[in-house]
Amino acid sequence: MPLPLIVLASVICALDVFILLLPRILRSRGVFLYPRTKFGPALVFDSNDDEGTEVRLLNVGGKFQSICYVAHELRYRLVCVYHLYFSQVVQMQGEVHAASAEGRDTRRKALVIGGGGYSFPKWLVSDNDDVDVTVVEIDEVVTKIARKHFYLDELIREFDAERGGRLRLVCDDGWAFLGNADERFDIIVNDAFGGRKPLGPLATQEGAQAVLEHLSPTGVYLANVISPLEGSTKKTKILRDSLDACKDAFEHVYLIPEDGDDPTIVGDNVLVASNARLPLANAYVIK
């Protein structure tokens, strides 16, 4: 065999061995690799936040998708700023729901589109005794990761969440699930990250109308819109489209920016839409 072919074969063999050993090498350094998800390779690893608290991160396809605390007493606490905004709106909706005639002494139902590391669903179950949660995640590998590394199985055991009806896990496309659903929810959360257009059809007028039709009279829609507040038409299109769609469908629309100081920075902005008035600051009122 010619020497160049021998060298090439040796390089290919060495590369194959490296690829086979890569997951083991990463695990030895506390990094877990899942090479195939619907949106690219997934990495799970631990780090520290700005205050030195240990956190666990999920990166899918080169984009950070989820984060949670590692300490046992903090595992169901929310880390992301936009999730904290979500939680405040959920609590406001709970007060409006409880004060309404149809909501008095009844449980609330939440639909979360996009599981990821299941940070927000875990908080909904652990911190809201009156909420039953359905989570729709399109990628079963991502749910497997959440079960194993992001304490989802631990939450299910601790709260007997699946058998007790507190948590239902569905592997499906969120838009398809919503279109086929025959029930109404008090909270619908769009927290899907995958693809170039993370909100997909839910950013359209048809999507906003479908959300409205599946909300209770005091229900609220929450969406994470990853976008700058200002900038080129291309950069802000998803935000403008989402706001316009919700303004056409809902009586009240709010936008809580992640970074109000610099509107040109891409941030996790919280879109809130409801037919019930919520006690949010006037600065956040769009309609």
Catalytic status, residue 191? yes
Task: Please list, in sequence order, all residues whose beta carbon lies within 8 angstroms of the beta carbon of residue 281, skipping any fewer than 6 positions away.
Answer: none
Angle at the Cα of 40 (from 39 to 45), degrees rounded to 5? Answer: 110
DSSP 118-152: -HHHHHHHHH-TTEEEEEEES-HHHHHHHHHHSSH
Please state which of the ranges 155-169, 190-204, 265-279 shows the lowest mean pLDDT. Answer: 190-204
pLDDT of residue 18: 36
Q: What is the pLDDT of residues 27-86, one digit of tens each?
A: 545 689 998 899 899 999 999 999 999 999 999 988 888 999 999 999 999 999 999 999
Segments in the chain forming alpha helices (H): 3-28, 81-99, 119-127, 140-149, 152-159, 174-180, 205-213, 233-249
Q: Is the pLDDT of residue 5 over 80?
A: no
User: Which DSSP category does 285 fall into?
Assistant: B
The active-site residue, picked from 191, 248, 262, 268, is 191
Burial class, 208, CB count within 10 angstroms (exposed 0-12 / middle 13-18 / buried 19+)? buried
35-to-43, 55, 285 alpha-carbon distances in Å:
8, 22, 43
Give the confidence band of 193 by pLDDT, cuts at 50, 70, 90.
Answer: low
What residue segments make up the domains of the chain, in order of their start? 3-72, 76-284
Q: Is the pLDDT of residue 195 over 90?
A: no
Residue 258, amino acid: E
Diameter over CA atoms, the chain: 85
- If residue 101 lies in a helix (H) or strand (E), which one and from where to where? none
42-48: strand order across its sheet:
32-34, 42-48, 54-60, 63-69
Mean pLDDT of 215-224: 96
CA atoms within a 13 Å half-sphere pointing along the CA-CB vector of 196: 3
Which is more confidently placed, 11 or 62? Answer: 62
Give the confidence band of 11 by pLDDT, cuts at 50, 70, 90.
Answer: very low
CATH topology of domain 76-284: Rossmann fold (3.40.50)
Predicted TM-score (pTM) of the model is 0.88
